[in-house]
Amino acid sequence: MPFPREEIEATVERYVETRKVIDGGGAGWSALAQYFTDDAVFIDPAWGRVQGIEEMKATVFGDAMVGLDEWKFPVEFYAIDGDNVVIKWKQILPGRRDDGRAYEQSGVSTLIYAGNGKFRYEEDLLNMVHVFEDMRESKCKVPPVAVPPKHPNRDFSRPGA
């Protein structure tokens, strides 16, 4: 039986608002940790499977975001189906192309709600070839700490209920 839609929607609204604060420079990515259970699983397109909130804080909310302070990740919309949430967002790099357009890529996150204002799973999908092409063209550099592991765990399976 899914959690009440109103509860999920209220959590998603807070999550999206926190992302806006992060984009505005008012908080770091670790501010999203409050929305995940201690045993949550996060699937990142570059870093792979990350298990547990402490590991998430160290990687996908930590090292993975070092040097990306000027990048923006605005949410376009979200949809809720049972305990599943899909959030459509963009990733926007600093700078502009010669024609004035932004360096941006399309991303989608799928989350599973766990109750009490927390998610137990997030899977981010992003075309990393597109990201790297835009990084090269924009001459964007990230510090070595932000480089993902050479052989990340690509298991995107959802944890048991």
- Average pLDDT over the chain reads 94
**Pair of tokens at residue 139:** 């001459």
**Pair of tokens at residue 105:** 């890529």
Name the helix (H) or strand (E) containing 40: strand 36-44
The per-residue pLDDT for range 26-48, each reduced to its tens digit, is 999 999 999 999 999 999 999 99
**Residue 161 pLDDT grade (very low, low, confident, very high; cuts 50, 70, 90):** low
Residues 105 and 91: beta-carbon distance below 8 Å: yes
Handedness of CA 9, 44, 104, 108 (dihedral sign): negative
The per-residue pLDDT for range 88-109, each reduced to its tens digit, is 999 999 999 999 999 999 999 9
